[in-house]
Amino acid sequence: MPTFEPVLLRNVGVKDSHTLAVYRERGGYRGLDKALALSPAQVVDAVKASGLRGRGGAGFPTGVKWTFLPKDHPGPIYMCINADESEPGTFNNRILMEEDPHQVLEGMIIGCYATRATTAYLYIRYEYGHSYRRLQAAIDELYAAGMLGRNVCGKDGFHLDIYLHRGAGAYICGEETGLIESLEGKRAWPRIKPPFPAIEGAFRKPTVVNNIETMACVTHILNLGVEWFKSMGIPADPKNPRDAGSFGPKLYCVSGHVNKPGCYEAPLGLTVRQLIDDFAGGVWKGRKAKGCIPGGLSMGFLTEAEFDCKLDFADPGKYRCLGLGTAAVIVFDDQTPIVDVLYNSCRFFSHESCGQCTPCREGTSWMTKILARIRRGEGELSDLEVLGDVERGIGLTPGTTICGLADGAAWPVKNALQKFRPELEDWIRNKRTSVDVLAALGGH
């Protein structure tokens, strides 16, 4: 096991780590103290200088996003923290909220100070009941300690309220403008952008949207410093002006066919192979992996031969994956039919499409139907061409849909056609079948 000392997970497993007393005893809220000694602009500069990129999937530089807020806005400015965490394979936000809610709240308070937001909504998926209760208890402690409400921590004029807002079981509420619509009490239909939330977000006011893990990183950037953060990870490729680098620690989730599924912390840039072998105890049952999904279901596939791919913001793209996503690796062994994996993926996106863009609504549903047919041994080779046509026609990349869900639906299909085509063709030619245990059940 590598010698790296966890920072984001340092309190996990410590008794009563979720309480203010234990969090403080272990050095908590020093980042906030340091932030409050600076001006808001200086805090934004520190986060910008750290190179922190959003951990929610898109990887946008956090400090830069904060500078998009209009200057001298009369307010209110809102912060929306995204704890909808529904990307299959991803569970690091849950662990942070359950085990160390104050670490997240500290980052939020710092972020609100920096951006002059006076109300923060933490949008949390309904299924996270335990996280919800832990966070609410932690927020209650902060109000009682004078660390939320008026004049936070005695800082004149810094007022902040944090409210939890529970979702109702829809993946699309994780898309930032879907989240905002849902918060406003409407159906979670993502908005056409621009305007981006920084200009016109929640309740039509400037709004910062950030992920839970991003906020946890902010806490440590303020406490341990920009240099500390930048000492980890992979610097930008000087030959690529669009590469913003991959700095800091990352929570990697690994699930599926490994011996020790779990959430592990390491500097950005760990390879898939290191994650599986050094942290997750290798592939289960002494088998070999066939491949994996590198960053939550939306990101596509890597074959076993590609496991030296680095899990940073730049490398997965070089392997034709959509990106790093949430860095949640889902491993499947060499006995898993790729058709089954692909069917599960398409069924997910078809179920979760919000339905407002026809190419996404219809495309995800067609792909699911075609794959169900192939699974039953009733596919034709021409089905693969149809899948390719559908996949290429949906998403932000071809510009036919409003949000990135459709790209996430397309990518596993795209990569499977590129990387597992011989297996798919062989399956169809030989009319191989696999059982859909749920199809027989019916129901909703």
Ligand X SMILES: Cc1cc2nc3c(=O)[nH]c(=O)nc-3n(C[C@H](O)[C@H](O)[C@H](O)COP(=O)(O)O)c2cc1C
Residue 201 contacts residue 207 (beta carbons within 8 Å): yes
With CA atoms as reference, report the closest residue to 325 among 289, 290, 291, 301: 301
Smaller CB separation from ligand X, 176 or 304: 176
Give, in order, the Cα–Cα distances in Å from 364 to each of 344, 406, 409. 12, 8, 7
Residue 209 binding: pick among ligand X, ligand SF4, other proteins, none (C-beta 5-8 Å cut-off by kind): ligand X
Give, in order, the Cα–Cα distances in Å from 342 to each of 376, 382, 410. 14, 17, 11
What's the min distance (Å) between Cβ of 360 and ligand SF4? Answer: 3
Residue 139 contacts residue 124 (beta carbons within 8 Å): no
Give the residue, chosen from 28, 31, 51, 57, that forms a contact with ligand X under the rule CB under 6 A: 57
Smaller CB separation from other proteins, 312 or 333: 333
Chain residues binding other proteins by CB under 8 A are: 76, 85-91, 93-94, 125-130, 132, 161, 163, 165-171, 182-188, 203, 253-257, 261-263, 293, 297, 328, 330, 332, 336, 340-341, 344-345, 348, 351-352, 354, 437-438, 440-444
What's the min distance (Å) between Cβ of 423 and other proteins? Answer: 17
What's the min distance (Å) between Cβ of 361 and other proteins? Answer: 13
Distance CA 234, CA 231 (A): 9
List helix spans (H) across 170-318: 176-183, 212-224, 226-230, 272-274, 315-318
Residue 353 binding: pick among ligand X, other proteins, ligand SF4, none (C-beta 5-8 Å cut-off by kind): ligand SF4
Which contacts (CB < 8 Å, 24+ apart) does range 316-320 have? 319/294, 320/414, 320/415, 320/418, 320/419
Q: Is the peptide bond before 249 cis (omega within 30 degrees of 0)?
A: no
Extract the tokens encoding 125: 């998926």
Give the residue, chosen from 9, 28, 47, 55, that forms a contact with ligand X under the rule CB under 6 A: 55
Smaller CB separation from other proteins, 65 or 257: 257
Q: How far apart are the first and last CA of the chain?
A: 45
Smaller CB separation from ligand X, 63 or 379: 63
User: With CB under 6 A as the contact rule, which of the stretches 103-111, 171-179, 357-365, 436-444 interacts with ligand X?
Assistant: 171-179
- Write out the binding residues for ligand X, residues 87-116 only, by CB under 6 A: 87
What's the min distance (Å) between Cβ of 31 and other proteins? Answer: 26
Binding residues for ligand X (CB under 6 A)? 54-58, 60, 62, 82, 84-87, 172, 174-176, 209-211, 214, 403-405, 408
